[in-house]
Amino acid sequence: MMQATETADGVLVLTVTAERIDAASAVHFKDGFRDATAAHGGRVVMDLAPVSFMDSSGLGAMVAALKSLGGRKLEICGLAPAVDKVFRLTRMDKVFIVHEQLDRALTQDGPEGADAA
Amino acid sequence: MSNLARQPRNFGAPRLHFEDTINADPISVRDTILEIMRRLQSEFPSQSHGIISTEIVLAEVLNNITEHGYQESNLGDVTVSVLCTDDMISVETRDYGLPMPGLNPPETGLVDIPMEVDDLPEGGFGWFFIRSLSSHMEYRRSGSKNIFCVQIPTAREEPDKMPDTKPT
């Protein structure tokens, strides 16, 4: 469900390959995320551009994914309108670090650069 | 009380876009939503607020029936009807699963999300989405049947009904 690549700077980029993160795929998504991030301790950026739809199960899986990072931030980018909507309605856009696009995410210094709160 | 006889504008009759009885399991639910969205495309722009809201509401209503009504047994029928008028998409479901607790659609438990990651909810968003994105809903139990109806406004750019999400 996701392809993992590591940039020269050691950023783990996860490109979600599924079009829908919903009740049918949420468990698979969580497992895929844990497997992909298990051996990585640095920044994690998830590219959601191929995902056109996410429901509450998918959002729950995203929260589970974030928690599994054990205190690290989860950066996401490429939110389609329906995905953006579920994040904004629940205010989860304040919990994850949302970048517009992957290239924008990768030109920033990391979580601190993105939300200098 | 009916105003039908002197309808001030020509709203047109509600148009049926979809009616089918499906098995209540996650894959059938997904396939059915995709089919409904494909049919609605003939009438509504694909990325309009109403269409996006409808897809989310459909998913949550059908997930609830699959997960709670039929307890994730993947055994049970649900009949889905989708009608629309010029400014509304209406979804009706009929199923034979468990009744809603207290014979009412649950209140949304999601009031304010905590900022501590470990405290974040991993569920409970479903009714929050349904209530946030719809203008009207109705549930009734008839014998062993659940009948649920929800309407999503489409005509105008919906003023986000949500309390504004400005960071503080």
Instruction: List the CATH number of the domain containing B88.
Output: 3.30.565.10
Say yes or no for a CB contact (<8 Å) between A82 and B26: no
Kindly provide the ipTM of the predicted complex, given to two decimals.
Answer: 0.91
Is B15 part of a structural domain of the chain?
Answer: no
Residues of chain B with pLDDT under 50: 1-3, 7-10, 158-168
Number of domains into which chain B is organized: 1
Question: Can you list the alpha helix ranges (DSSP code H) found in chain A?
Answer: 26-37, 56-68, 81-89, 102-106, 111-114
Q: Which of B25, B46, B48, B56 best tests the A interface by mutation, with the highest count of A CBs <10 A?
A: B56
Is B52 part of a structural domain of the chain?
Answer: yes
**Chain A residues in contact with B54 (beta carbon < 8 A):** none
Considering only CB atoms, A63 lies closest to which of B55, B110, B120, namely B120
Nearest CA of chain A to the CA of B112: how many Å? 8
Nearest CA of chain A to the CA of B37: how many Å? 12
Is B7 part of a structural domain of the chain?
Answer: no
Q: What is the pLDDT of residue B156?
A: 55
With tokens 């609830």, the residue in question is B64
Considering only CB atoms, B52 lies closest to which of A23, A82, A91, namely A82
Going residue by residue through chain A, which has 117 residues, state the pLDDT in tens, using 9 for 90 and above. Answer: 899 999 999 999 999 999 999 999 999 999 999 999 999 999 999 999 999 999 999 999 999 999 999 999 999 999 999 999 999 999 999 999 999 999 999 997 766 555 444
Residue pair A58/A28 in contact by the 8 Å Cβ criterion: no
HEC profile for B96-163? CCCCCHHHCCCCCCCCCCCCCHHHCCCCCCHHHHHHHHCCEEEEEEECCEEEEEEEEECCCCCCCCCC
Size of interface A-B (CB pairs under 8 A): 86
Fold topology of A19-35+42-109: Transcription Regulator spoIIAA (3.30.750)
